[in-house]
Structure 1
Amino acid sequence: MPRYMSLIRIDEKNSPEGGPSNELMERMGVLLEEMTKAGVMLDTGGLRPTGEGSRVRWEGGKISVTDGPFTETKEVIGGYALLQCKDRAEAVEWVTRFLKVHEDYWTVTCEIREIEAG
């Protein structure tokens, strides 16, 4: 069965102060438990703010390291989910359910990419 990576993109500048609400985390927990029992969820996690990260770039034969935050970036990857689904349509269905547990004031985008077999 194919595996899919869902990259969860957020705008750190417009995310609610204090992070997700307790209610959101409860709804998320219920959904993640359902996905795990269904054999769809292989792994998931949130990422720390970009201010605590670094970017390492290879260009022109040289390495450069830039410490966050990355102010030039509007959307950043705030988390990920590794899913195993029968096809992309099923992955889209699960990711849609994930997005719908968020309150209306959130702006979240999930990019779904199939993992290359091999």
Structure 2
Amino acid sequence: MKYFSVFLPDPKTNHGQQTPDQREAMNAFVTDAVSRGEFISGGGFLPLAQHGAVVRRENGATRVIDGPYAEAKEWVGGFAMLEYASREAAVDGAQRFLAVAGDGECITYQVMDGPHSNG
């Protein structure tokens, strides 16, 4: 089963800048996940306020909201597309990731396979 995960770093303790040791530990983690057949693709994000935009559609109108985003309390630090045999394995993978990434949340969604109805 495929899972999509996003990492929300804790802004009080994790500022998005990795030390060389943290980068090395994350590279080792990803290399291990690839060898296990778990890691499909993923990566980290640059700060939204400097390199991104929010595009919002509301009541049929679309607008682009540029930063800075002073009111933003959460930011996404990275993402991954993963392959696990079960939800429990995906939760275990998220726990192993957080042990390397540091404080924050790892939100994991199972990806639907093929067309689905709302029933």
Structure 1 unaligned segments of length 5 or more: list them: none
**How many Å separate the matches in 1 of 2:113 and 2:67?**
33
Residue 76 of structure 2: SS of its match in structure 1? strand
- Checking the alignment, whether the CA contact within 8 Å between 2:10 and 2:105 is kept in structure 1 is no
User: What's 1:55 paired with?
Assistant: 54
User: What's 1:78 paired with?
Assistant: 77
Question: Pick from 100, 106, 111: which aligns with 2:107?
Answer: 111
Q: Structure 1 residues 31 and 14 mapped into 2: Cα distance closer, same or farther (>3 Å)? A: closer
Is 2:68 aligned against 1:39? no
Q: Deviations over 1:36-58 (max 9, x none)?
A: 01110000100110112111111
- What amino acid does structure 1 have at the position aligned with 2:106? C
Structure 2 unaligned segments of length 5 or more: list them: 115-119
**How many Å separate the matches in 2 of 1:86 and 1:28?**
23
- What amino acid does structure 2 have at the position aligned with 1:92? V
TM-score normalised by the chain length of structure 1: 0.87
Q: Deviations over 1:2-59 (max 9, x none)?
A: 100111112557534x701111111111111110011100001001101121111111
Is 2:43 aligned against 1:24? no
Residue 8 of structure 1: SS of its match in structure 2? strand
User: What's 2:4 paired with?
Assistant: 5
Report percent identity of matched pairs.
32
**How many Å separate the matches in 1 of 2:93 and 2:11?**
24
Q: Report the count of equivalent residues.
A: 113
Residue 28 of structure 1: SS of its match in structure 2? helix
* Backbone CA RMSD of aligned residues: 1.7
Larger strand proportion, structure 1 or 2? 1
